[in-house]
Amino acid sequence: MGQIGGTMAKKHIVLVISGGIACFKACQLCSDLSKKYEVQVILTKHAAEFVSPVTFATLTKRPCLIDMFSAETDYTKVIHIELAKWADLVVVAPATANILAKMANGIADDLASTTLLAARSKILVCPAMNSFMLDNLATQANIATLCKRGIEVMQAETGFLACGDIGRGKLPVPSEIEAKIANLLLESQTLKGLKIIVTAGPTVEAIDPVRYITNHSSGKMGYAIAKVAAIKGADVTLISGPVNLETPVNVNVVQVKTALDMLEAVKANWSDHDMLIMAAAVADYRLNKVANQKIKKSEASLQLELVKNPDILQWAGEHKQAKQVLCGFAMETEHLLENAKNKLLAKNCDLLVANDLTTKGAGFAGDTNVATLLWPDKQESLALMSKTDLASKLLSVCHELYQTKNK
């Protein structure tokens, strides 16, 4: 697949274009990308009905590939394997419901889908379709499957659709896709050599052998931080309460249940780590006495005596070494910045991530967040973004703090 001349080879992108009306935007995307990267375009047969292969061949100075079997095929090479090996990144834009379904279910029946199945590079998918198709449970399940496998999925934009409807399903503008691509290709091992602890999920406090007290935390934010930290090269220890999430690759997971369990896990690891990011939603109280047997329903009311759990973040702040970075989280429903700033200072944190449960897109269990970052001397409000993007931003900030402390 060749390299350009000069002292440094450009990164290689395989651009897969599937058959939707948003194909016309892929022309601009391809043109922009070809100025910075080596780009090989694969059109599906339906995509070729929307935009001519000649357009992409002219823009990339390479043949635009469609068929696995054609008069021009070099059968001394297995083309989809060659493409998979060549690519530093595979981008699917636009990604129709059909190509998403193929990817999620391992279907490989044309050049585009076989290349995607063989790819070992990062993959970026940019869905574009009518909102009815996008919101269909099958499509959402397929997107969720791809996300769990580590494939990057950009959110479709909302606006005027080709069918005349107004809704979610537009392909993001090329500049946004290009920015995402640049971020993925520039992802370097910036955290290599650092040891990071991340806490995630809820804790559960038993009432009896059947019942317990907990909260709505899904663990998604903490798991996103652990995943991105590992990708950036860190040695990651994830201390996790009970969640229903896949373990991130290259992450050491310590499973805990109660707040006391989590405290002991943090105590056992904090002294020899560089950063601690406390994203877990730890129960503030536990039962003074847990019943040995199931409590039977007898009275009209039931009184439970609760005692305060140890404050893990405060303990970590009290035992923080000068070279270490401590980041806390604060979920509030009122007086967000005031409460968050007080927590930041009281717990001796270097950084605190604050979000308001009542803000749309910032609640539990979702894939997005809206946060404000607070330092002792300043703050920064962030827009709605995916938890993965917030994790990347947060880790960059923590790394800057670490570098400042360890000059």
- pLDDT of 1 reads 45
3-state secondary structure of 39: strand
91 by Cβ neighbours in 10 Å (0-12 / 13-18 / 19+) ranks as buried
DSSP string of 356-372, one letter each residue: ETTSTT-STT-SEE--E
User: What are the b/e assignments for 12-32, b being 16+ CB within 10 Å?
Assistant: bbbbbbbbbbbbebbbebbbb
pLDDT at 239: 98
Q: What residues form DSSP beta bridges with 13?
A: 39, 89
Q: pLDDT averaged over consecutive 10-residue blocks of the chain (407 residues)?
A: 43 94 93 91 94 94 87 70 92 96 95 94 93 92 92 87 79 86 75 96 96 95 91 92 88 97 98 98 96 88 94 98 97 94 97 92 85 96 90 95 95
For 161, the token pair is 């659709």
Q: How far apart are CA 306 and CA 303, in angstroms?
A: 10
pLDDT recorded at residue 407: 86
* 204 backbone dihedrals φ, ψ, rounded to 5°: -125, 140
Residue 312 among known ligand-binding residues:
yes
| 282-307 CB burial, b ≥16 within 10 A, e <16 | bbeebbeeeeeeeeeeeeeeeeeeee
CA distance 251 to 235: 7
Residue 387, both tokens:
């938890």
pLDDT value at position 27? 94
DSSP output for 13-32 = EEEEE-SSTTHHHHHHHHHH
Q: Any binding-site annotation on 207? A: no
- Residue 344 assigned ligand-binding role: no
Residue in 205, 296, 206 with CA at minimum distance from that of residue 259: 205
Distance from first CA to last CA of the chain, Å, rounded? Answer: 43
Domains of the chain, by residue range, sit at: 12-185, 195-291+303-406
Q: Do domains 12-185 and 195-291+303-406 have the same CATH topology?
A: yes
Query: Which among 44, 53, 55 is positioned nearest to 18, based on CA atoms?
Result: 44
φ, ψ for residue 313, nearest 5 deg? -65, -40
DSSP class of residue 278 equals E
- Secondary-structure class of domain 12-185 per CATH: alpha beta
- Residue 285 pairs in a beta bridge with 308
Q: Which residues fall within 8 angstroms of residue 158, CB to CB, at 6 or more apart? A: 166, 167, 168, 169, 170
Domain 195-291+303-406, second-level architecture: 3-Layer(aba) Sandwich (3.40)
Position 5 scores a pLDDT of 32
294 is in an annotated binding site: yes
- Global confidence as pTM: 0.62
pLDDT value for 96 = 95
Confirm or deny that 343 is annotated as ligand binding.
Answer: yes
Q: Is 302 marked within a binding site?
A: no
Name residue, tokens 């968050």. 340
Residues labelled as active-site residues: 163
Q: What is the DSSP string of 342-398?
A: HHHHHTT-SEEEEEETTSTT-STT-SEE--EEE-SS-EEE--SEEHHHHHHHHHHHH
> Greatest CA span in the chain, whole angstroms?
83
Cα 218 off chain centre by: 14
